[in-house]
Amino acid sequence: MKNIESIKEKAKLVRKWCMVSTTEAGSGHPTSCLSIADVTTVLFDKYLKYDLSAPLNKYNDRFVLSKGHAAPLLYTLFGIAGAYPLESLRTLRKFGSQFEGHPVPKFKFTEAATGSLGQGLSVGAGLALIGKREKLPYKTYVVLGDGELAEGQVWEAANFASYHHLDNLIAILDINRLAQSGETMFGHHLKEYADRFKAFGFEVIEIDGHDLEEIDKALQKAHSNTNGKPVAIVAETIKGKGVSFLEDKEGWHGKPLNTDQLKTALKELGEVDDSLRFELKMTEKTEVTKNPLEQTFSKLKFDKNKEYATREVFGEVFTELGKSNLNLYGLDGDVKNSTYTLDFYKAYPERFVECFIAEQNMVSVAAGLSRIGKIPFVATFAAFFTRAADQIRMARVSESNIKFIGSHVGVSIGEDGPSQMGLEDIAFFGAEPDIIILQPSDAVSTSKLVPLMINHQGISYMRTLRPKTPIFYDESEVFKIGGSKTLRKSKKDGLTVAATGITVIEAITAAEELKKENINIRVVDCYSINPVDAATLKECVSETEKPIIITVEDHYEHGGFGDFVSSALAKENLEVVKLAVSKISSSGEKSQLLSAAQIDAAHIIKTVKKLLK
């Protein structure tokens, strides 16, 4: 290794700023930075190809810090690469700084928000997958801590990476022995990690993570790997390496040095040259993925006399729009024949990603795809998005542009029983700020809403139904995010029933039955759950005999559609009566379960009559 002395000096500079910035902040994880400082210094100085002026240049190598608490290291590395003055690192963790406690998109060089552990390898796998599929020359490096290797998602990602032959993916494992509250499961027994990654199909290289020659050889080998296997560099490291009183000591996780300790530490580091810079390799070309939307609406036609399952129609529209919109990707967790992404898979296998039954990895892979300009559609049973709730939460922090399609919502799925029913999805997606939630009730509205999801930048979520429903709309109808459709209206409506999805047909049935008894109600299809159409509902309240809105939804009561309505109309003088699922459901026929949950036409009728008495 030619420039070993120069790299040593740079590693000292890295260490200095990881400590200075955290001491200045009064919190943070300096020792977790120090353990992997040597490996990342060699990586940045000798291998990383990166155009600092264009983080989204599609020829850039990708660097994912999965162990997000080592954020000061990430900031220091890009600082030494020349992205900003090192002195600015003193704003670490301060309000308004781009250098947050854990990386967020305001720091433009981060590939994803991290800090919830065990997600980075999946993000990296998503990035590497595109490199493979589009034959781009970049490498994806992911730095993982040893504590986070206990997260199952890491092993989902490992299977995914070897299955898809991502030999352009390099996982760097920082085996520093110490986790937050004690020793990790395997301490410094590197073999435990090596054996696991080998069994999961990785090329494994074990090294001393502080021997610059070994590091260089490993990175060289990883860099030139083309054997179809992803690489894991298992690095034995020392937490706090470089400062004797921190090295391999318990009690130093997530703890900055105080001013005196910092002085002692810097003294031990010796003279450090603040003017040193990494010599980043430049990328060959500059180009950012851009696939402008070609087709932004669906041309599908439906037979008015037929019934359709909205999940099936989604599949058709997705496939239709995928034809000319080349940035659309489909991600599946082995339910493509139920969510109806199967057609997309058949039509565009090169833009379909089979993730098997591993929802967490699937969502974080999508975050990787989104980062580099793709529009991933992630589809599974709505119930199983709870499996990836943390990944969705982090995708939101990452400002990802992901479209989630949750099929089999509610008790209306019938015989399969409660484990398969999505009944908390509106609560969860709805809690995260600014996630659009749509739920079409028929084929036409589905075909109109899918394009709106694509056109909207950010996360959106659509609920689709297992059973078939009749057609309510003419193909000329216009739908919009935040809109609704009034399906029954008279000059003498007693109150309003606001329904969504499967309950729309129940509400219409109720209205027709009530009409026979000369009771008129207004029925609104709130296909846009968030934002909900407050203006229309306000109008209903002012126009109906009683200022009452009955919300009917196939979702649990708390955090559902009804709460969006209550919230949107909080200033109005009205009563919102929520009909929603309030108990654990069971197996049974759709009609039995809708009735047991008290969200069917009969219960709407009963409630209306009671309220209009």
397, 450, 540, 604: residue in contact with its own copies (rule CB under 8 A): 397
- Site residues for its own copies, 155-214, by CB under 8 A, read 155-156, 159, 163, 179-182, 184-185, 195-196, 198-200
Residue 6: Cβ within 10 Å count: 13
- Report in angstroms how near the CB of residue 374 gets to its own copies at its nearest: 22
120 near its own copies, judged by CB under 8 A: no
593, 599, 605, 608: residue in contact with its own copies (rule CB under 8 A): 593
Structure tokens at 61: 């190598």
Task: Using the Cα atoms of residue 382, residue 383, residue 384 and residue 385 in order, give the sign of their dihedral.
Answer: positive
- Site residues for its own copies, 86-105, by CB under 8 A, read 93-97, 100-102, 104
Task: Using the Cα atoms of residue 485, residue 487, residue 493 and residue 496 in order, give the sign of their dihedral.
Answer: negative
- Report in angstroms how near the CB of residue 596 gets to its own copies at its nearest: 8
386 near its own copies, judged by CB under 8 A: yes
Most distant CA atoms of the chain, gap in Å: 92
**Do you find a cis peptide bond into 531, omega within 30 degrees of 0?**
yes
- Spell out, one character per residue from 430 to 459, where the chain touches its own copies: x when CB under 8 A holds, - when not: xxxx--------------------------
- Report in angstroms how near the CB of residue 428 gets to its own copies at its nearest: 6
608 near its own copies, judged by CB under 8 A: no
- Report in angstroms how near the CB of residue 372 gets to its own copies at its nearest: 21
592, 598, 602, 606: residue in contact with its own copies (rule CB under 8 A): 592
3, 88, 116, 509: residue in contact with its own copies (rule CB under 8 A): 116
* CA nearest to 174, candidates 236, 124, 225: 236
578 near its own copies, judged by CB under 8 A: yes
Q: Which residue has the tokens 């955090």?
A: 559
- φ/ψ of 569, rounded to 5, equals -110, 20
266 near its own copies, judged by CB under 8 A: no
Single-letter code of the amino acid located at 563: D
Task: Using the Cα atoms of residue 230, residue 234, residue 240 and residue 241 in order, give the sign of their dihedral.
Answer: negative
Distance CA 180, CA 190 (A): 19
| Residues binding its own copies: number (CB under 8 A) | 110
Residue 247 and residue 188 in contact, taking contact as beta carbons nearer than 8 Å: no
* 268 carries an active-site annotation: no
Structure tokens at 97: 């700084």
- Site residues for its own copies, 517-556, by CB under 8 A, read 530, 556
Q: Please, which residue, 263 or 558, has the CB nearer to its own copies?
A: 558
Distance CA 135, CA 351 (A): 14
Q: Please, which residue, 153 or 325, has the CB nearer to its own copies?
A: 153
Helix and strand counts by DSSP (H, E) for the chain: 21, 19
24 near its own copies, judged by CB under 8 A: no
- Site residues for its own copies, 271-290, by CB under 8 A, read none
- Report in angstroms how near the CB of residue 297 gets to its own copies at its nearest: 29
Percent helix, percent strand, percent coil in the chain, to nearest 5: 40, 15, 40
* Residue in 359, 399, 424, 506 annotated catalytic: 359
- Report in angstroms how near the CB of residue 580 gets to its own copies at its nearest: 10
Q: Please, which residue, 156 or 214, has the CB nearer to its own copies?
A: 156
* CA nearest to 451, candidates 401, 403, 483, 380: 403
Which residues are catalytic, by number?
359
